[in-house]
Amino acid sequence: MHDYDVLVIGGGPAGSTVATLLSQWGRRVLLLEKEHFPRHHIGESLLPLASRVMQRLGVLDKVEQANFVHKLGATYVWGKTRQPWTISFSEMIDDTTHAYQVERARFDTLLLEHSRECGARVQEGCRVTQALHEDGRVTGVRYVDETGALQVVSSRFCVDASGQGAIMGRSMRFRRFNRPLRNIALYAYFRGGKPLVEYVHDLSPQSQGNIFVVTVDIGWIWYIPLGDTLFSVGLVTDASLAQGINQEGRRKFYLDTLAATPEISFLLRDAHIESESLYTQSDWSYICRSFQGPGYLLVGDAACFVDPILSTGVTLAMDGGLQAALAINTALSDPQLTNWVMNWYEEQYRGKFQSFLQMAVHWYKGHRNQDAWFWQAKQLMDSSSNLSIRQAFILLTAGFAAGLSSQEPLELQEMGGFSSSQVKTIYDHLDSAILEQAHENVMQQSTHEPPALRRRYALHHFDGGA
């Protein structure tokens, strides 16, 4: 007899999504988180698809009440000229499906509290040190509890949602790094920054919650409004440029780059830096060789990480969490379906990662014009669809890669005003009937064959490593 049905390692957006859903579906869930929340975390700019997952978790009202900044789109200085250009999610998606700019300390705490309220047992201050194996299957974990005592807990299924800690991916040496995308981010918080509309005059007042992404010679800068005149400002650059520089040197390098960027120096003219020290975060894109195995599954950054140029991390983590919960619930209900549903999970997730990764790689390819990125998005969504190139770009940058899971087709159709064939195209990989059955926990042996696990990602772009 196992102590729990499901054990979740990590209480970030991926872990809390899995824990909430499985608890709602009556599973006995233990979530172990090494920190005490609220805790600082990077990854503040969300996408509309994440709002859809929140709706499904039943937490959207709480998020709305927490007064996070509404994000209606994105504004870029990127391309052949320094003329800003903007996309609005409402061009493609019902504008009630806005995204949010969040302080992660508050946002992650809210999601984790929701998991608790839904019945998950959440233990903070508990660091998982090792997965336990029996006959080639993961059967539980060893962890250090709040008092420093070593504990062991068993479960029918184990979810690694430990973020870049990647407790299982590292120990199994699963992670493969993408060579071109080895970046580093230097970031800090500024009080008193100007709203974006003061720089981009044709922006509507509602759009001042947009993320502002500005290219510089050595990388790019994000300018994210977090409310109450607080802004997160980050510089993403090649990791080699910050190597061998001490903390003071990095701070100077960071501030000098902001000062030399006309758009950002204008917006920060009257602002003062709030963070005591500059935050530094490695930003290397990677993917694990496998996302699942006997008794376990990886989700969120524990499975894969894409450069933040498109702000996809939290959305991928939450959408992946939803798929992971569906897969595990199905496997627990009918163990005969385990292989099928785990392959389905991996196929879906890898497909989305791959779309976002290819878009990010393309994004970094020099100073092109907008149409080059729009065309790339169209290729990734489905080149034969009726979507215009701009529509494809907006959908992709709203988080809707091919293989959606958080939308029912009809709902999406209503939201976007799409024709049914367009919906079918962007809904490509999802057999919603199967998902619905899994969701209701009544899935029986299916006559469907599992989709062949297509390892579409370009292996030659990934290095080995832990």
Question: Does 167 contact ligand FAD by CB under 6 A?
Answer: yes
Question: Does 41 contact ligand FAD by CB under 6 A?
Answer: yes
Element housing 142 (H / E): strand 137-144
DSSP count for the chain of H helices, then E strands: 15, 20
Q: Is-contact 185 49, C-beta < 8 A?
A: no
Question: Does 209 contact ligand FAD by CB under 6 A?
Answer: no
Question: Does 14 contact ligand FAD by CB under 6 A?
Answer: yes
Distance, CA of 129 to CA of 151 (rounded, Å): 10
Question: Does 140 contact ligand FAD by CB under 6 A?
Answer: no
Q: Which of 48, 73, 165, 219 binds ligand FAD (CB under 6 A)?
A: 165
Q: Which of 18, 30, 46, 268 binds ligand FAD (CB under 6 A)?
A: 46
CB count within 10 Å of CB 106 equals: 16
| Vertex 296: Cα angle to 323 and 309 (nearest 5) | 50
Cβ nearer to ligand FAD, comparing 220 with 457 = 220
Q: Which of 6, 7, 11, 292 binds ligand FAD (CB under 6 A)?
A: 11
Question: Does 155 contact ligand FAD by CB under 6 A?
Answer: no
* Shortest distance, position 252 Cβ to ligand FAD, whole Å: 20
Question: Does 399 contact ligand FAD by CB under 6 A?
Answer: no
Distance, CA of 180 to CA of 239 (rounded, Å): 11
Subset of 185-204 contacting ligand FAD (CB under 6 A): 185
Cβ nearer to ligand FAD, comparing 14 with 381 = 14
Q: Is-contact 346 292, C-beta < 8 A?
A: yes
Question: Does 44 contact ligand FAD by CB under 6 A?
Answer: yes
Distance, CA of 410 to CA of 423 (rounded, Å): 8
Question: Does 360 contact ligand FAD by CB under 6 A?
Answer: no
227 token code pair: 């409310």
Q: Which of 62, 127, 182, 390 binds ligand FAD (CB under 6 A)?
A: 127
| Vertex 356: Cα angle to 363 and 178 (nearest 5) | 75
Cβ nearer to ligand FAD, comparing 214 with 423 = 214
* Shortest distance, position 32 Cβ to ligand FAD, whole Å: 5
Which CB contacts under 8 angstroms, 24+ apart, belong to 264-267? 264/214, 264/221, 264/223, 264/233, 266/194, 266/198, 266/199, 267/193, 267/194, 267/196, 267/198, 267/199, 267/212, 267/223, 267/231
Question: Which of 105, 74, 101, 88 shows the shortest CA–CA distance to 228?
Answer: 101
Question: Does 163 contact ligand FAD by CB under 6 A?
Answer: yes
Question: Does 359 contact ligand FAD by CB under 6 A?
Answer: no
* Shortest distance, position 262 Cβ to ligand FAD, whole Å: 23
Cβ nearer to ligand FAD, comparing 99 with 423 = 99
* Shortest distance, position 53 Cβ to ligand FAD, whole Å: 12
Question: Does 162 contact ligand FAD by CB under 6 A?
Answer: yes
Q: Is-contact 14 161, C-beta < 8 A?
A: yes
The one-character DSSP state at 68 is P
Distance, CA of 69 to CA of 227 (rounded, Å): 6
CA–CA distance from 367 to each of 163, 209, 219, 236, 394 (Å)?
32, 26, 12, 16, 20
Stretch that binds ligand FAD, among 28-36, 172-180, 241-249, 383-391 (CB under 6 A): 28-36
Q: Which of 6, 7, 8, 9 binds ligand FAD (CB under 6 A)?
A: 9
Stretch that binds ligand FAD, among 26-34, 174-182, 371-379, 448-456 (CB under 6 A): 26-34
The one-character DSSP state at 449 is P
In whole angstroms, how large is the CA radius of gyration of the chain?
21
Asked if residue 225 has a cis previous peptide bond (ω within 30° of 0), the answer is no
Residues in contact with ligand FAD, shown as a per-residue x/- string from 278 to 317 under the rule CB under 6 A? ---x-x----------------xxx-----x--xxxxx-x
Cβ nearer to ligand FAD, comparing 81 with 171 = 171
- Alpha-carbon 189 to chain mean position: 21
* Shortest distance, position 178 Cβ to ligand FAD, whole Å: 14
* Shortest distance, position 438 Cβ to ligand FAD, whole Å: 22
Stretch that binds ligand FAD, among 27-35, 174-182, 335-343, 435-443 (CB under 6 A): 27-35
Q: Where along the sequence are the contacts to ligand FAD (CB under 6 A)? A: 9-15, 32-35, 41-46, 127-128, 161-165, 167, 185, 281, 283, 300-302, 308, 311-315, 317
